[in-house]
Amino acid sequence: MTPPLDLKGVLIFRGLLDPARQRELVAAVRGALAEAPLIRPVTAWGKPMSVRMSSAGRVGWVIDRGRYRYADRHPDAGRQWPAIPEAALAVWREIADWPDPPDSMLINWYGEGARMGLHRDADEGRFDAPVVSVSLGDPALFRVGGLERSDPTASVWLNSGDVAVLGGAARLAYHGIDRLRFGAGGLLPGGGRINLTFRVVA
Ligand code: MD3
Ligand code: FE
């Protein structure tokens, strides 16, 4: 395997997933979304996020009356989340260097103009395991900083098939998505981006 790009400790494996595997993952994601529809979470400040979200696995990330937490049920459907698709688990096994499967696969859906402000992933209750992130669809400008919001940042375009591994000190680094090149990816008809994020949750 070609060595990853190291962006402030975030390891980016460019083009790890070939187009056939990308399409297989999109089909698996559509299957999961049929059971657990996308939602638009409303932040603690009362602002709906521009990214729509769902999850698969034992637990899923939700905003519940302004509280960010992992829930064992879809907030609208009231049912358990679908299982993490096998094609997605295969990516984790390949790259995470962790003995256990992830507890959660967050599905982020970016339409035109969607972005994700600088934040840290700190709701998991444990930070020893890595987070693995898969990009599908349109290119997205990813930004990563340090452990403080005011730390300097670096940016890179994430393309369809890229896989990022966030381990060690980078696990708690500030990061976000500034913008998309909407429609430039060609994987999703009508444009857009899917990000799958695998996490071990206490
Ligand atoms: C760096 N998602 O869901 S993925 C998120 O592309 C999230 O949808 C972005 O940030 C997206 O929380 C970025 C890359 C990523 C994911 C988790 C990280 C980078 C990370 C955790 C720590 C440091
Ligand atoms: Fe994040």
CATH number at residue 178: 2.60.120.590
Query: Which residues make beta-bridge pairs with 34?
Result: none
Flag whether the pTM goes above 0.85: yes
186 Cα: distance to centroid of ligand 1 (angstroms): 22
Range of the domain at 112: 5-199
pLDDT at 189 over 90: yes
Categorize the per-residue pLDDT at 30 as very low, low, confident or very high, splitting at 50, 70 and 90: very high
CA distances from 120 to 18, 74, 127, 131, 143 (A): 29, 23, 12, 12, 12
Q: How far apart are CA 54 and CA 73, in angstroms?
A: 11
- Tally of domains in the chain: 1
Query: Does residue 171's CB lie within 6 angstroms of at least one atom of ligand 1?
Result: yes
Q: Determine whether the shortest distance from the Cβ of 143 to ligand 1 is under 6 A.
A: no
User: How is 36-97 classified by DSSP, letter by letter?
Assistant: S--B--B-TTSPBPSSEEEEEES-EEEEETTEEEEESB-TTT-SBPPPPPHHHHHHHHHH--
116: confidence class by pLDDT, cuts 50, 70, 90? very high
